[in-house]
Amino acid sequence: MSSSAFQHTDTQAREVRQARWDFSGQTVLVTGAAHGQARAHALSFASAGANVAICDICANIGSVSYPMGTVDELEDTAEQCRAAGANVISRVCDVRSERQVEAFVNATVEAFGGIDVAVANAGVGGITEAVDLTEQEWDEMLDTNLKGVFLTFKHVARRMIDGGGGGRLIATGSVNSFTGVPGCTHYVAAKHGVAGLCKSLAIELAPHRIRVNYVCPTAVNTHMIEIVTGPRVPENFGERLVATAGSWNLLEEGAPPLEPFEVSEAMMWLASDSSNYVTGAALAVDAGFLTK
């Protein structure tokens, strides 16, 4: 699969189907929002009336082969949210740093009085055979995709408990939270970790009326698709992937990856009162991938 076959459309104009959701007066925190899925999530919540707090590392990570978000892209997300009518704060924040995460969470509470929903989306991807993985690749993957979710949820949950009003924590998992994929051992380990983290936190935080869930997408049209052209991808990676996992989309063979807004729909349902009794759950937006 060539990354050039798909156009990144996370900023494209489209009808906002999420208008049926109403998050007026609520505050939603989203990590990794300079582009990709998190930008779509932030815009969706903004269009539904929420105050939005967004962050991104706004720097490249050494082992990541595709471009990470930038300060300009983060501010563009903020401006699009403001254009949708939202009150917005944006911060540069590396979710691998507890100090930075705590500061971002505190700034959000200071600006809006509390946090109702947190979407821990910041994450990276990569393809390298396990026997060739460097310690740096392993650490940067696990620190971003798993530790970053933990730190975000830890500090948001503390403030939710202090506020006494409950809340919703939603992580970006993956179909790889349940399956193995060749060449992606570190990514798969991190996403399996997200599943376990959310299940355990759901039990711990239930007495505080804090629900914890995770959305598990199949292939999504973001910059992460570019990992398939990375410098260390095995020549036969595509063939091995298809042989192991089969089609990523059972509903429409040969279809392009999902657009980020398709995943936003699931995020907003889990953040809404419509899912009041859903916690510790995985919501697959996978076009049938996990049925195999």
- Which amino acids are annotated catalytic? 187
Cβ-contact 270, 283 below 8 angstroms? yes
- CA atoms of 194 and 145, how far apart (whole Å): 8
Between CA 28 and CA 6 the distance in angstroms is 30
Residue 123: C-alpha distances to residues 67, 158, 224, 251 (Å): 13, 22, 9, 27
Q: How far apart are CA 193 and CA 177, in angstroms?
A: 8
Backbone angles phi, psi at 146, to 5 degrees: -120, -55
Contact 63, 141 (CB under 8 A): yes
Phi and psi at residue 100, to the nearest 5°: -70, -40
The angle that helices 98-112 and 148-163 make with each other, rounded to 10 degrees, is 30
Spatial distance between the Cα atoms of 218 and 241, rounded to a whole number of angstroms: 13
Please state, in angstroms and rounded to a whole number, the distance separating the CA atoms of residues 120 and 146. Answer: 10
Are 50 and 131 within 8 A, CB to CB? no
Three-point CA angle 285, 289, 292, nearest 5°: 140
217 vs 119: CA distance, rounded Å:
14
Measured CA to CA, the distance from residue 188 to residue 173 in angstroms comes to 10
